């Protein structure tokens, strides 16, 4: 009888551990998008060296905030705040609106975050047409 109780207690302990492990698995942390990321954006037509873009992000829950820095005239960096920043698991999305000569242009970024990279798409609308291109940023150390 004592052996049955011991076996039952052991079985119950193993089952409890298994249930807890399965219950915790979906809550595993996705890679944190907080930090500084950079990539080179090719010039139109793929000519020239491109421009180094820098993205500084901060995650608070499901909210994403930050700034994007890009080279401006005479090499002086221009910082632009991101808007509509969201985090859902390992996916992020945000918008950047810039103004050139009185015209506003919004780029919508989306991507999947890993420990060292963000890979995704940039969508822009111009003259009623939506254009999409890939982007990949690397985490700066």
* Distance between CA atoms of residues 113 and 41, nearest Å: 19
Confidence of residue 19 (pLDDT cuts 50, 70, 90): very low
pLDDT on residue 23? 46
Domain range list for the chain: 35-139
b/e per residue 61-92 (b: at least 16 CB within 10 A): eeebebebbbeeeeeeeeeeebeebebeeeeb
The confidence band for 45, taking pLDDT boundaries of 50, 70 and 90, is low
Sign of the C-alpha dihedral computed for residues 54, 59, 64 and 67 taken in this order: negative
Higher pLDDT, 20 or 66: 66
Q: What are phi and psi of 102, to 5 degrees?
A: 85, 0
Structure confidence at residue 28 (pLDDT): 47
For 37, the enclosing helix (H) or strand (E) is strand 35-41
Please tell me the predicted confidence (pLDDT) of residue 94.
97
CATH code for the part of the protein at 35-139 = 2.40.128
Name the DSSP letter for residue 49: S
Classify strands 91-100 and 103-113 as parallel, antiparallel or unpaired. antiparallel
**Which of the two residues, 15 and 50, has the higher pLDDT score?**
50
User: What pLDDT was estimated at residue 74?
Assistant: 73
Instruction: State the pLDDT at residue 128.
Output: 81
């Amino acid at each position: 009888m004592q052996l049955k109780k011991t076996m039952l207690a052991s079985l119950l302990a193993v089952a409890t551990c298994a249930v807890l492990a399965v219950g915790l698995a979906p809550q595993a942390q996705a890679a944190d998008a907080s930090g500084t990321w950079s990539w080179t954006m090719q010039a139109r037509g793929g000519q020239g060296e491109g421009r180094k873009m820098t993205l500084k992000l901060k995650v608070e829950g499901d909210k994403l905030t930050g700034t994007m820095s890009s080279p401006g005239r005479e090499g002086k960096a221009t910082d632009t705040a991101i808007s509509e920043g969201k985090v859902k698991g390992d996916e992020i999305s945000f918008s950047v609106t810039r103004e050139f000569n009185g015209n506003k242009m919004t780029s919508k970024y989306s991507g999947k975050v890993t420990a060292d990279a963000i890979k995704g798409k940039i969508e822009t609308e111009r003259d009623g047409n939506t254009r999409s291109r890939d982007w990949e940023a690397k985490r700066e150390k």
